[in-house]
Structure 1
Amino acid sequence: MVRRVGSAGKVLEVLRGADGFVSSQKICSLLGISRSAVWKQVEALRRLGWSIEGVSSQGYRISGVADSLRVLEMDPGFDPLRIGRRIVVHEETGSTNDDAWQLGLEGAGEGTVVLAEMQRAGRGRRGRQWLGPARKNLYASILLRPPVPPGDAPFLTLVAAVALCEALAETGPLAPQIKWPNDVLLNGKKTAGILAEMHADQESVHFLVLGIGVNLNMSADMLPTEVRYPATSVLCALGAPVDRVAFSRTLLRHLDRQYDVFLREGPGPVREKWLTYCAHRDGWLEVETPQGTLQGRFRDIDDEGALVLEVARGRTERVRAGDVTRLDARPEEGSESFLKGKPPCSS
């Protein structure tokens, strides 16, 4: 697949590939455009935040990297199979999930990505707020139209979690872990969250919006303290800021590939990768569900993304939704605290 890059993106590729100045004449020759067009595209790049030095006798060169996600509108930085064919960037918005949902209703194509530099009203599971300071984090929503029954669509949350872990591991010496069902941890603290919202009927998925929020460059004093689970950022974990544009490209590339694997081969390969990043392997857990509270040992996730928990009295419980807390010790078998409330689903 040939990556479609606009004129400004092509000029940017030429400048980024050079060791020093590149003359206007050379850019004209390489791209088949006029000197006036070169100047216009350089100005467009400057408006996006790129620092480009221009010297009349030598041409242009990049002297500073942009921190604007709008660069991705010109060029996603990889050859997208589905995700990243179209990227929309807002300077500020209420919720990227709401924006992507509206695009879905309007018939936008699969793989459309909505990004925002600032998000005023982001949300997580159960309506929890996701704080969104400007130009610090990644706020992304991806519009998907998966050809799967509605019961299989929740597995896409696990697809996104694997892609997040792969992107974080590629970014630096990090050891990301997944906290079922939708959080990614660094050093045991929440760094990223995923929210999937589906438009479907009983038989088919019309579209699904996969929302992803990642704490990238928030300092420790900026992190929320009044949250259910301790938070951190990639900056805190690495001790250095992250290039948000580069990380966004890395994440979208991994998500595009993992989604393709899911569509071609089913949940099996993604599930195996998910288990390698799982923070709960063989651990004792407490899970708060809408029906009650369960305690038991993590055993697996199934092909629909449900948690398989081994509980007392020699049986397992399949949990489709809930909040997980890791226990320091094995609960007492047969006690009232071992299995509290109505079981969500026995197997």
Structure 2
Amino acid sequence: MKGLSTELMIIKALKEVEGSYISGEELAQRASVSRAAVWKHIKTLRDKGYGIEAIPKVGYKLVRSPDAILPEEIIPILKTRSFGGQIIYRRILGSTNDLAKKLAEKGASEGTVIIAEEQSKGKGRLNRSWTSPPGGIWLSAILRPEVLPAEASRFTILAAVAVAKAMEKLGVQPDIKWPNDILIEGRKVCGVLLELSSQIGQVDYLVMGFGINANFKLDAIPSDFRDNVTTLYEVLGRKINRSFFISELLYELEDSYRRLLAGGWKSILADWLKRCKMLNQSISLQTIRGTVEGEFIGVDDLGAIRIKLPGGRIKKFAAGDVTIKKRLT
């Protein structure tokens, strides 16, 4: 894979012969560095949590990988063309979206991904805080689509589809609540926050942030929120391989993104509607101007929600917070 770091190439080589030793000389050749440099990088990898045995005149053997979503764990298994080609990892970060925006302003390339094990200032839609304990997946991706700002809302629909498809590969059946909340059995397991910068009618960049409740129990979430949320660990009864899940998420995200830019909006919207259980349900929409109640009848061509009011009139809203009340018959 083009552009791999030295440490990533060493880990890739060790994993290819997992359970066996590989000589320092071969590692040096694979990574195009000296044998002394190999030893320094082995030390750095051990500091990251890798268990690597070393026997003089025999070589090195990988005996343990850390339970961390490191670039060394994700990049070798990516199936994408460009998404995730550069992954910036932090053990603790205020907000992955905030760092992504700073990097985007400095010219970071499309597909750059920021990942944290824990966020201290995680945020959701409508300026809400987002609890981000260790074991979750807190990830932001930088996108640079050549679209109008008015079309940016389509990317929230796209993001929800990508997460849902990745979760389906775990054997769960997620539902989508407009615009991009992912629910399992009626409880939120993932939120998506889209932020953008535009100039003179053109999007400069989008930052797509994902907060996925993965490998932790509900008691890691403040008690006030536990009734409405869940985690993949609670649903599956086991921890998932987070690195594998991220690779699948980035694959689905890139696939949907390229489809959208190639004119495939209708197919993406169809994927979204197939997973949205809100149709024909009575809802309440909280907007900055107040609360609107009515029947959810779908979304428009830009992803705005369409609500049939009690008098029969149909109104569209680009933003707001939905509460599902009951199914209409």
What is the TM-score normalised by the length of structure 1? 0.86
Question: 190, 215, 218: which is aligned to 2:216?
Answer: 218
Measured after TM superposition, the shift of residue 125 of structure 1 is 1.2
Alignment partners' CA distance in 2, 1:91 and 1:269: 37
Is 1:270 paired with 2:280? no
Counterpart residue identity of residue 6, structure 2: S
Instruction: Give 3-state SS (helix, strand or coil) of 2:223's partner.
Output: coil
Following superposition of structure 1 onto structure 2, how do residues 111-260 of structure 1 map, counting pairs within 5 Å?
111-133=111-133, 135-170=134-169, 172-227=170-225, 230-260=228-258
Alignment partners' CA distance in 2, 1:113 and 1:73: 14
Following superposition of structure 1 onto structure 2, how do residues 1-347 of structure 1 map, counting pairs within 5 Å?
2-24=1-23, 25-28=25-28, 33-56=33-56, 58-72=58-72, 75=75, 77-133=77-133, 135-170=134-169, 172-227=170-225, 230-330=228-328
Alignment partners' CA distance in 2, 1:78 and 1:302: 34
Alignment partners' CA distance in 2, 1:82 and 1:29: 26
Instruction: Give 3-state SS (helix, strand or coil) of 1:42's partner.
Output: helix
Contact 1:72 1:245 in 2 (8 A): no
Measured after TM superposition, the shift of residue 307 of structure 1 is 1.3
- Per mean C-alpha deviation after superposition, the further-off stretch among 205-214 and 29-38 is 29-38
Counterpart residue identity of residue 216, structure 1: A
Superposition RMSD in Å = 2.3
Alignment partners' CA distance in 1, 2:127 and 2:14: 45
Measured after TM superposition, the shift of residue 26 of structure 1 is 4.2
Contact 1:190 1:229 in 2 (8 A): no
What is the TM-score normalised by the length of structure 2? 0.91
Contact 1:21 1:58 in 2 (8 A): no
Counterpart residue identity of residue 111, structure 2: G
Contact 2:75 2:84 in 1 (8 A): no
Contact 1:285 1:325 in 2 (8 A): yes
Contact 2:162 2:249 in 1 (8 A): yes
Alignment partners' CA distance in 2, 1:15 and 1:162: 35
Measured after TM superposition, the shift of residue 201 of structure 1 is 3.5
Instruction: Give 3-state SS (helix, strand or coil) of 2:210's partner.
Output: strand
Alignment partners' CA distance in 2, 1:22 and 1:62: 8
- Per mean C-alpha deviation after superposition, the further-off stretch among 102-111 and 51-60 is 51-60
Measured after TM superposition, the shift of residue 69 of structure 1 is 2.6
1:40-81: per-residue Cα shift (whole Å, max 9, x none)? 332232222111222335432222122233335983632533
Alignment partners' CA distance in 2, 1:239 and 1:196: 30
Alignment partners' CA distance in 2, 1:153 and 1:312: 30
Structure 1: gaps (5+ residues): 332-347
1:238-261: per-residue Cα shift (whole Å, max 9, x none)? 101122222222222221222111
Measured after TM superposition, the shift of residue 33 of structure 1 is 4.6
Alignment partners' CA distance in 2, 1:127 and 1:32: 47
C-alpha change, 1:30 and 1:92, in structure 2 (3 Å) is closer
Measured after TM superposition, the shift of residue 221 of structure 1 is 1.4
Alignment partners' CA distance in 1, 2:218 and 2:77: 30
Instruction: Give 3-state SS (helix, strand or coil) of 2:153's partner.
Output: helix
- Partner of residue 345, structure 1: none
Contact 1:8 1:74 in 2 (8 A): no
Measured after TM superposition, the shift of residue 99 of structure 1 is 0.9
Counterpart residue identity of residue 318, structure 2: R
Contact 1:136 1:217 in 2 (8 A): yes
Contact 2:95 2:119 in 1 (8 A): yes
Counterpart residue identity of residue 164, structure 1: V
Counterpart residue identity of residue 127, structure 1: N
Contact 1:72 1:87 in 2 (8 A): no
Measured after TM superposition, the shift of residue 313 of structure 1 is 3.4
Contact 2:285 2:321 in 1 (8 A): yes
Count of aligned pairs: 328
1:267-290: per-residue Cα shift (whole Å, max 9, x none)? 212111111211313322222223
Contact 1:179 1:280 in 2 (8 A): yes
C-alpha change, 1:300 and 1:64, in structure 2 (3 Å) is same
Counterpart residue identity of residue 317, structure 1: K
C-alpha change, 1:105 and 1:330, in structure 2 (3 Å) is same
Alignment partners' CA distance in 2, 1:266 and 1:291: 33
Alignment partners' CA distance in 2, 1:166 and 1:175: 9
Counterpart residue identity of residue 167, structure 1: A
